[in-house]
Amino acid sequence: MTRETKSFNAKAITEVSDEGIVDVIASVYDIVDLANERVKAYAFDKTIAENKLPKVCLSHDWNQIIGKVTEIRSLAPNDPLLPEDVKTYGGLWARLQFSMKTQAGQETYALIKDGMIDEYSIGYEVKADNWVDGIRDLEELYLFEISPVLLGCNTETSTLATKNMTFEQKQTSMNVLLDGLVEQARIHLELREKAGRPINAQRWNQLLQFADGIEEQVKLLRGLLAETDPTQYTAKGIDPKVYLKMKQLKGEL
Protein backbone atom coordinates (compact mmCIF):
# COMPACT_ATOMS: atom_id res chain seq x y z
CA MET A 1 0.00 0.00 0.00
CA THR A 2 1.32 3.43 -0.95
CA ARG A 3 -0.03 6.14 1.30
CA GLU A 4 -0.23 9.65 -0.15
CA THR A 5 -1.36 12.97 1.24
CA LYS A 6 -2.89 16.11 -0.21
CA SER A 7 -3.33 19.41 1.58
CA PHE A 8 -6.00 22.05 1.13
CA ASN A 9 -6.67 25.36 2.80
CA ALA A 10 -9.95 23.71 3.73
CA LYS A 11 -12.73 26.19 4.19
CA ALA A 12 -14.42 25.91 7.58
CA ILE A 13 -18.04 26.54 6.79
CA THR A 14 -19.71 26.73 10.20
CA GLU A 15 -18.90 28.39 13.51
CA VAL A 16 -17.01 25.95 15.72
CA SER A 17 -18.50 24.88 19.05
CA ASP A 18 -16.95 24.29 22.46
CA GLU A 19 -17.62 20.57 21.99
CA GLY A 20 -14.75 20.29 19.51
CA ILE A 21 -16.83 20.06 16.33
CA VAL A 22 -15.64 21.63 13.07
CA ASP A 23 -17.26 21.38 9.62
CA VAL A 24 -14.82 21.67 6.71
CA ILE A 25 -14.48 21.23 2.99
CA ALA A 26 -11.58 18.77 3.07
CA SER A 27 -11.07 18.57 -0.71
CA VAL A 28 -12.10 20.69 -3.69
CA TYR A 29 -12.76 18.91 -6.97
CA ASP A 30 -11.27 19.53 -10.41
CA ILE A 31 -8.73 22.18 -9.34
CA VAL A 32 -5.11 21.62 -10.37
CA ASP A 33 -3.07 22.06 -7.17
CA LEU A 34 0.63 22.77 -6.55
CA ALA A 35 1.40 19.05 -6.89
CA ASN A 36 0.02 19.22 -10.47
CA GLU A 37 -2.87 16.94 -9.50
CA ARG A 38 -6.63 17.28 -9.34
CA VAL A 39 -9.21 15.26 -7.43
CA LYS A 40 -12.13 14.17 -9.57
CA ALA A 41 -15.67 14.66 -8.31
CA TYR A 42 -16.31 10.90 -8.01
CA ALA A 43 -12.99 10.04 -6.33
CA PHE A 44 -14.47 9.38 -2.87
CA ASP A 45 -17.73 7.70 -3.92
CA LYS A 46 -16.61 4.19 -2.96
CA THR A 47 -15.18 5.25 0.40
CA ILE A 48 -18.41 7.07 1.25
CA ALA A 49 -20.57 4.14 0.07
CA GLU A 50 -18.67 1.74 2.35
CA ASN A 51 -19.41 4.08 5.28
CA LYS A 52 -15.88 3.67 6.69
CA LEU A 53 -15.40 7.06 8.29
CA PRO A 54 -11.78 8.24 8.45
CA LYS A 55 -9.98 9.31 11.62
CA VAL A 56 -8.56 12.73 12.43
CA CYS A 57 -4.77 12.71 12.92
CA LEU A 58 -2.28 15.45 13.71
CA SER A 59 -0.23 16.25 10.59
CA HIS A 60 -0.68 12.71 9.23
CA ASP A 61 0.93 11.11 12.30
CA TRP A 62 -1.00 7.87 12.79
CA ASN A 63 0.35 7.71 16.34
CA GLN A 64 -1.47 10.98 17.07
CA ILE A 65 -5.18 10.25 16.58
CA ILE A 66 -6.95 13.34 17.90
CA GLY A 67 -10.49 12.81 16.71
CA LYS A 68 -12.84 11.22 14.22
CA VAL A 69 -15.03 12.08 11.27
CA THR A 70 -18.67 11.71 12.26
CA GLU A 71 -20.20 12.54 8.89
CA ILE A 72 -18.90 12.86 5.34
CA ARG A 73 -20.51 13.57 1.98
CA SER A 74 -19.58 14.54 -1.55
CA LEU A 75 -21.06 17.86 -2.64
CA ALA A 76 -21.99 18.59 -6.25
CA PRO A 77 -21.35 22.07 -7.68
CA ASN A 78 -23.67 24.78 -6.30
CA ASP A 79 -24.54 22.78 -3.18
CA PRO A 80 -25.67 25.21 -0.43
CA LEU A 81 -22.96 23.87 1.92
CA LEU A 82 -20.19 25.02 -0.41
CA PRO A 83 -18.46 28.37 0.21
CA GLU A 84 -19.02 30.90 -2.56
CA ASP A 85 -15.44 30.81 -3.87
CA VAL A 86 -15.57 27.05 -4.59
CA LYS A 87 -19.30 26.69 -5.24
CA THR A 88 -18.82 25.99 -8.96
CA TYR A 89 -16.40 23.11 -8.32
CA GLY A 90 -17.91 20.88 -5.65
CA GLY A 91 -15.99 19.25 -2.84
CA LEU A 92 -15.76 16.78 0.03
CA TRP A 93 -17.64 17.95 3.15
CA ALA A 94 -16.72 16.47 6.52
CA ARG A 95 -17.69 17.01 10.14
CA LEU A 96 -14.74 16.55 12.49
CA GLN A 97 -15.13 15.68 16.17
CA PHE A 98 -11.94 16.39 18.09
CA SER A 99 -11.29 14.32 21.20
CA MET A 100 -11.63 16.76 24.09
CA LYS A 101 -10.56 14.03 26.54
CA THR A 102 -6.99 14.05 25.21
CA GLN A 103 -4.40 16.80 25.57
CA ALA A 104 -3.43 16.64 21.88
CA GLY A 105 -7.07 16.91 20.82
CA GLN A 106 -7.72 19.86 23.12
CA GLU A 107 -4.55 21.70 22.08
CA THR A 108 -5.10 21.17 18.36
CA TYR A 109 -8.69 22.34 18.63
CA ALA A 110 -7.52 25.40 20.59
CA LEU A 111 -5.02 26.23 17.83
CA ILE A 112 -7.78 25.87 15.22
CA LYS A 113 -9.99 28.24 17.19
CA ASP A 114 -7.03 30.62 17.52
CA GLY A 115 -6.55 30.66 13.77
CA MET A 116 -3.02 29.26 14.06
CA ILE A 117 -4.18 26.22 12.09
CA ASP A 118 -6.59 26.90 9.22
CA GLU A 119 -5.68 24.20 6.72
CA TYR A 120 -6.43 20.50 6.44
CA SER A 121 -4.97 17.59 4.53
CA ILE A 122 -6.26 14.17 3.49
CA GLY A 123 -4.37 10.89 3.69
CA TYR A 124 -5.37 8.27 1.13
CA GLU A 125 -4.40 5.39 -1.12
CA VAL A 126 -4.75 5.92 -4.86
CA LYS A 127 -6.89 3.16 -6.36
CA ALA A 128 -7.18 4.69 -9.84
CA ASP A 129 -5.53 7.63 -11.57
CA ASN A 130 -4.93 8.93 -15.07
CA TRP A 131 -2.53 11.38 -16.68
CA VAL A 132 -4.11 14.03 -18.92
CA ASP A 133 -1.88 16.64 -20.59
CA GLY A 134 0.73 16.30 -17.86
CA ILE A 135 -1.83 16.54 -15.04
CA ARG A 136 -2.52 13.60 -12.74
CA ASP A 137 -6.25 13.01 -12.31
CA LEU A 138 -7.04 11.20 -9.05
CA GLU A 139 -10.10 9.17 -10.00
CA GLU A 140 -10.56 6.81 -7.05
CA LEU A 141 -9.16 7.41 -3.58
CA TYR A 142 -9.49 5.33 -0.44
CA LEU A 143 -9.63 7.88 2.36
CA PHE A 144 -7.81 6.99 5.60
CA GLU A 145 -7.68 10.21 7.56
CA ILE A 146 -8.09 13.98 7.62
CA SER A 147 -5.36 16.01 9.33
CA PRO A 148 -5.04 19.60 10.53
CA VAL A 149 -1.78 20.91 9.01
CA LEU A 150 0.27 24.10 8.81
CA LEU A 151 0.84 24.06 5.07
CA GLY A 152 -1.67 23.43 2.29
CA CYS A 153 -1.70 23.11 -1.51
CA ASN A 154 -4.47 25.57 -2.40
CA THR A 155 -5.40 29.11 -1.38
CA GLU A 156 -8.78 29.03 0.40
CA THR A 157 -8.51 29.63 4.16
CA SER A 158 -10.73 30.46 7.13
CA THR A 159 -10.21 31.75 10.63
CA LEU A 160 -11.79 30.55 13.87
CA ALA A 161 -11.90 31.59 17.56
CA THR A 162 -9.56 30.62 20.46
CA LYS A 163 -8.83 29.96 24.14
CA ASN A 164 -5.85 31.06 26.23
CA MET A 165 -2.92 28.66 26.52
CA THR A 166 -0.02 28.52 28.97
CA PHE A 167 3.57 28.93 27.82
CA GLU A 168 4.16 25.22 28.35
CA GLN A 169 1.09 24.30 26.28
CA LYS A 170 2.19 26.59 23.45
CA GLN A 171 5.71 25.15 23.55
CA THR A 172 4.39 21.58 23.42
CA SER A 173 1.94 22.39 20.63
CA MET A 174 4.56 24.10 18.48
CA ASN A 175 6.99 21.20 18.96
CA VAL A 176 4.31 18.73 17.87
CA LEU A 177 3.27 20.86 14.91
CA LEU A 178 6.83 21.41 13.71
CA ASP A 179 7.55 17.68 13.98
CA GLY A 180 4.40 17.01 11.96
CA LEU A 181 5.31 19.59 9.32
CA VAL A 182 8.78 18.12 8.82
CA GLU A 183 7.29 14.62 8.56
CA GLN A 184 4.68 15.83 6.05
CA ALA A 185 7.40 17.47 3.95
CA ARG A 186 9.50 14.29 4.10
CA ILE A 187 6.61 12.13 2.90
CA HIS A 188 5.79 14.57 0.10
CA LEU A 189 9.41 14.76 -1.10
CA GLU A 190 9.84 10.98 -1.00
CA LEU A 191 6.66 10.36 -2.96
CA ARG A 192 7.67 12.88 -5.61
CA GLU A 193 11.12 11.27 -5.89
CA LYS A 194 9.67 7.77 -6.22
CA ALA A 195 7.34 9.02 -8.96
CA GLY A 196 10.33 10.49 -10.81
CA ARG A 197 8.94 14.02 -10.57
CA PRO A 198 10.80 16.88 -8.84
CA ILE A 199 9.00 18.95 -6.24
CA ASN A 200 7.06 21.92 -7.59
CA ALA A 201 9.31 25.01 -7.51
CA GLN A 202 6.65 27.09 -5.80
CA ARG A 203 6.22 24.52 -3.02
CA TRP A 204 10.03 24.20 -2.65
CA ASN A 205 10.39 27.96 -2.21
CA GLN A 206 7.47 27.97 0.20
CA LEU A 207 9.17 25.39 2.41
CA LEU A 208 12.51 27.20 2.15
CA GLN A 209 10.96 30.50 3.22
CA PHE A 210 9.26 28.77 6.14
CA ALA A 211 12.58 27.20 7.23
CA ASP A 212 14.32 30.60 6.94
CA GLY A 213 11.57 32.14 9.07
CA ILE A 214 12.08 29.53 11.79
CA GLU A 215 15.85 30.13 11.75
CA GLU A 216 15.30 33.89 12.11
CA GLN A 217 12.99 33.40 15.09
CA VAL A 218 15.53 31.04 16.70
CA LYS A 219 18.25 33.70 16.28
CA LEU A 220 16.01 36.31 17.92
CA LEU A 221 15.22 34.01 20.83
CA ARG A 222 18.88 33.10 21.33
CA GLY A 223 19.74 36.80 21.28
CA LEU A 224 17.18 37.52 23.98
CA LEU A 225 18.51 34.67 26.09
CA ALA A 226 22.10 35.88 25.67
CA GLU A 227 21.11 39.38 26.78
CA THR A 228 19.47 38.09 29.94
CA ASP A 229 21.82 35.20 30.77
CA PRO A 230 21.84 35.19 34.61
CA THR A 231 25.41 33.85 34.79
CA GLN A 232 26.83 37.08 33.37
CA TYR A 233 25.83 39.09 36.42
CA THR A 234 25.33 36.59 39.25
CA ALA A 235 28.93 35.44 38.84
CA LYS A 236 30.03 39.02 39.49
CA GLY A 237 27.74 39.49 42.47
CA ILE A 238 25.60 42.04 40.60
CA ASP A 239 21.91 42.38 41.40
CA PRO A 240 20.03 41.16 38.27
CA LYS A 241 17.43 43.93 38.53
CA VAL A 242 20.12 46.61 38.74
CA TYR A 243 22.01 45.07 35.81
CA LEU A 244 18.94 45.01 33.57
CA LYS A 245 17.93 48.53 34.63
CA MET A 246 21.36 49.88 33.68
CA LYS A 247 21.15 48.23 30.26
CA GLN A 248 17.71 49.76 29.75
CA LEU A 249 19.01 53.20 30.65
CA LYS A 250 21.84 52.78 28.16
CA GLY A 251 19.36 51.84 25.49
CA GLU A 252 20.82 48.37 25.16
CA LEU A 253 17.52 46.59 25.92
pLDDT band at 74 (very low <50, low <70, confident <90, very high): very high
pLDDT at 168 over 80: no
Cα 105 from Cα 118, distance rounded (Å):
15
* Mean pLDDT taken over the chain: 76
- Residues 20-38: tens digit of each pLDDT: 888 888 888 988 876 778 8
Mean predicted confidence (pLDDT) in 58-65:
83
Cα 68 from Cα 8, distance rounded (Å):
18
Cα 4 from Cα 145, distance rounded (Å):
11
pLDDT at 65 over 50: yes
- pLDDT for position 174: 67
Q: In the chain, what are the domain boundaries?
A: 3-199
- Residues 83-120: tens digit of each pLDDT: 887 888 889 998 899 998 888 888 888 888 777 777 78
- Residues 120-153: tens digit of each pLDDT: 888 888 899 998 888 889 999 999 898 887 644 4
Return the SS3 of 186.
helix
Q: What's domain 3-199's architecture?
A: Alpha-Beta Barrel (3.20)
pLDDT band at 237 (very low <50, low <70, confident <90, very high): low
Task: Report DSSP letters for 14-57, one per residue.
Answer: S---TTSEEEEEEEETT---TTSEEE-TTTTHHHHHHT-PPEEE
Cα 190 from Cα 101, distance rounded (Å):
34
pLDDT at 230 over 90: no
Cα 52 from Cα 208, distance rounded (Å):
37
- pLDDT for position 163: 34
pLDDT at 234 over 50: yes
Percent of the chain surpassing pLDDT 90: 15
For 169, residues 6+ apart whose C-beta sits below 8 A from its C-beta are 107, 110
